[in-house]
């Protein structure tokens, strides 16, 4: 089945620093990847849609200058949390959709990244 790999699985950083999270589709090509965030006991909230070769589309209320998204290839999207603050501490999850239209499958998710900002 489709595999989405996310790295790192957890990271602790100091306030004011930047953190990069990678999302890779391992056995399929993904023109579109999605970045979600989950706070404790809350639902997964879509942050942005990452499109290969073009600018990401951000959901309302998500700061694009703070959460930089790059989708440089059909198998890799990165999310960089810039100038992280403690309130950015959360669980970040990516998902991907295959470029193959005959690949009749729902979105597949990575295992997530637990970010803790101290």
Partner 1 sequence: DQQVKQNSPSLSVQEGRISILNCDYTNSMFDYFLWYKKYPAEGPTFLISISSIKDKNEDGRFTVFLNKSAKHLSLHIVPSQPGDSAVYFCAASTQGGSEKLVFGKGTKLTVNP
* Residue from 46, 68, 74, 76 binding partner 1 (CB under 8 A): 46
Minimum distance, C-beta of residue 80 to partner 1, in the bound complex (Å)? 19
Alpha carbons 71 and 12: distance in angstroms, whole number: 24
Out of 41, 54, 60, 61, point to the residue binding partner 1 (CB under 8 A): 41
Q: State which of positions 67-96 bind partner 1 (CB under 8 A).
A: 91, 93, 95
Minimum distance between the CB of residue 34 and partner 1, rounded to whole angstroms? Answer: 6
**Cβ neighbours of residue 104 under 8 Å, at least 6 residues apart?**
none
For the record, the structure tokens of 108 come out as: 């597949």
Give the integer Cα–Cα distance in Å for 85 and 55.
Answer: 24
Q: Residue 28, interface with partner 1 (CB under 8 A)?
A: no
- Asked if 97 interacts with partner 1 (CB under 8 A), we say yes
Nearest residue to 81 via CA among 109, 115, 110, 108: 115
d(CA 103, CA 39): 31
Which parts of 50-69 interact with partner 1 (CB under 8 A)?
none
Which residues form the interface with partner 1 (CB under 8 A)?
4, 6, 9-10, 32, 34, 36, 41-46, 49, 91, 93, 95, 97, 105-112, 114
């Amino acid at each position: 089945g489709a595999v989405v790999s996310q790295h790192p699985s957890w990271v602790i950083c100091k306030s004011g620093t930047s953190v990069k999270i990678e999302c890779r589709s391992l056995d399929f090509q993904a023109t579109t990847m999605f970045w979600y965030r989950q706070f404790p006991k809350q639902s997964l909230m879509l942050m942005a849609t990452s499109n290969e070769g073009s600018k990401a589309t951000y959901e309302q209320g998500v700061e694009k200058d703070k959460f930089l998204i790059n989708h440089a290839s059909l198998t890799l999207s990165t999310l960089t949390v810039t100038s992280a603050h403690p309130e950015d501490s959360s669980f970040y999850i990516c998902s991907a959709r295959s470029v193959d239209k005959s690949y009749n499958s729902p979105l597949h998710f990575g295992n997530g990244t637990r970010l803790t900002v101290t």
